[in-house]
Amino acid sequence: MNEVDVGFQIPLSVQEILEACPKFTVASTWQELYELATRDAVNGVHEVAYEVPGRGRVLEANVCRVKNGIAANYVEPYMRRRDPDCMVIADDLPTDKPRFEDQYGESFEPLRGETFAWLKTQELALFPFIAGVPGMGMDALVVAPANAGFFALGLALLQGIMDEKALSPDFDPKAVIFVAPPFRHTHFKGKQMVVHNRRPGRHELFSYNLYPGPSAKKGIYGVLLALGEREHWLTAHCATVQVITPYANKLCIMHEGASGGGKSEILEQVHRQKDGALLLGTNVLSGERRTLVLPHNCELRAVTDDMALCHPSLGKNDGRLALIDAEQGWFVRVNHITRYGTDPNLEKMTIHPSEPMLFLNIDAHPGSTALIWEHIEDEPGKPCPNPRVVIPRKAVPGVYQGAVSVDIRSFGVRCPPNTSENPTYGIVGMFHLLPPALAWLWRLVAPRGHANPSIVATEGMTSEGVGSYWPFATGRMVDQANLLLDQIVATPRMKYILCPNQHVGAWETGFMPQWIAREYLARRGGARFAPEQVTPSRCPLLGFAMKSVVVEGQTIPGIMLQVEKQPEVGNETYDAGAKQLTDFFHDELRQFLQDDINPLGRKIIECCLAGGSVEDYVALLPIQVLEEDD
């Protein structure tokens, strides 16, 4: 029996920390962490601060209890969204990510020891959880300073928490998160670094910051990706929704994409104007508005918000992809909720929650009600672009329980406005049909796209990488690319679409394209189209464009389906944007031409580099999208 008995097995490193620390608490419920989050509040505000050598007391965040949960606000604007370059790898296993030793000129072992030494001086909070789904995930443990109770609460809401009294003695954490915020100042020049250390039989994750995105959220994602890489399965970066039409037909849509690509939004009801109409778009030059009348919304049953386990044991072997939610809570961005009434369902859920929630970057005060449209400001007059709320999955009305089989895999990309005065890659119509080969390429490239609100700013068009989950993966890009292609080949009944958000050519649209696509495809029972209903896109990377779309008897304007038809764009401007997109794909795809790339994958990439047509992609990987019958 361990000298420190917590009721389950713990690694020797954790045992030594607990033996030396002044006090520790093993939490069994989120309520215990909720109490801890504001335990030392003064005038209702708990200051999360640490003594940093050479700097003195450094305040990281202010935390207060509100009527609907806990509100936490970071002092530094930089800490209010994820730094996409925050991961380093401490071990010597295969990886394409920066290694700690290469980046900092020394082994990680001394810093690992310093981290453990610091934790031994702190009052600690720890709790066990399952990373992923019982039977398909990994036993895990978090070890954090007790004064960062809000961070531990966020992790527990996102990943779950196990009652240590009910745990089997065989519970053996194979993943451990160590939280040590001061080290970002002493060792990383203030950056929000996360270090993965894949030791034999144990995945250590060191979170040197208190923003949940890189660690409590994406850090655990990295743990699952590493497990799936060893066992040959994937955790997809997606939101999934079961759509039930007014006629009781059901369709399951899985929406993937880089941060800001519309994953959470696919779970939202379509936003309506005051008169109930849908605003298709507003012309950025003329100010003209186009609307659509949709009498009834489809019913939405949320399945996943961001992480989906695509485990082989879930499959029904019917040619579709089966998945299940990998999380117990959802990290929902609410920057688009700017006033009361924007999204009544989400507003009601967060104002009157069935259980308390965690609000980040929301302007709330002790005892008030945190309102998701009240965003804190990064500077006077500049709202934080990444306000968030952690919503427990069980608090979402109508949430789908269990595994689903997917009918349509959608991919979202943020597009800038595109006009003849300023040609851009904003050439994507309201939605496009993608052959499976092109669907794979979009998931390799995964553009972050225009004005990404979720991460620290980057200039121009950048790539999130394989599956759009690459920033969280610890291994090699080519291995993940092969796993993605194997998954696509193994699910031949899947249909693939591409949806823009923010702009369609010269029209500002927000997330309306994917909402319209969802409502339309659900009503028509899927994405099977006869050849005469579609046409190869002018840019082959966009697959097939729709010739016409009629929703509830109303025709979507052709200029919203084929952007080159917009007078503000035209063929010449469209082609300039297509070249931007094509050059970007070429630059990103060449790195995958390694010796161990799947031979079919090599052919697909070479087809793209050679300027292949839509028909060329279809020939490489046959599809059922254009067949009238399965």
* Residue where a domain stops, chosen among 216, 232, 248: 232
pLDDT at 215: 85
Question: Do both 177 and 310 map to the same domain?
Answer: no
Question: Do both 141 and 188 map to the same domain?
Answer: yes
Q: Which class for 99: exposed (0-12), middle (13-18), buried (19 or more C-beta within 10 A)?
A: middle
- DSSP line for 144-190: EEGGGHHHHHHHHHHH----TTTS-TT---SEEEEE-TTHHHHTSTT
* Amino acid at the residue 176: V
- CATH number (domain holding residue 550): 3.90.228.20
Question: Do both 478 and 528 map to the same domain?
Answer: yes
**pLDDT tens column, 116-154:** 999 999 999 999 999 999 889 999 999 999 999 999 999
Tokens of 299: 């019913």
Q: How many domains does the chain have?
A: 2
**Residue 165 included in any domain:** yes
Question: Do both 481 and 588 map to the same domain?
Answer: yes
Residue 426 belongs to what domain range? 235-321+406-620
Question: Which of 456, 458, 480 lies closest to 469, judged by CA?
Answer: 480
- Could you say which residues of the chain have pLDDT below 50? 1-2, 457, 625-630
* Ordered alpha helix ranges (H), 475-552: 477-489, 512-523
Contact present, 324 and 308 (Cβ < 8 Å) = yes
Question: Do both 157 and 212 map to the same domain?
Answer: yes
Give, in order, the Cα–Cα distances in Å from 435 to each of 62, 494, 523, 543, 589.
49, 10, 22, 6, 17
Question: Do both 185 and 109 map to the same domain?
Answer: yes
Question: Do both 175 and 241 map to the same domain?
Answer: no
Helices 599-609 and 570-589, packing angle to 10 deg: 140
Question: Do both 190 and 287 map to the same domain?
Answer: no
Contact present, 575 and 427 (Cβ < 8 Å) = no
**Residue 341 included in any domain:** no
Strand partners, 292: 278
Residue 198 phi, psi dihedral angles, 5° rounding: -85, 85
pLDDT at 252: 97
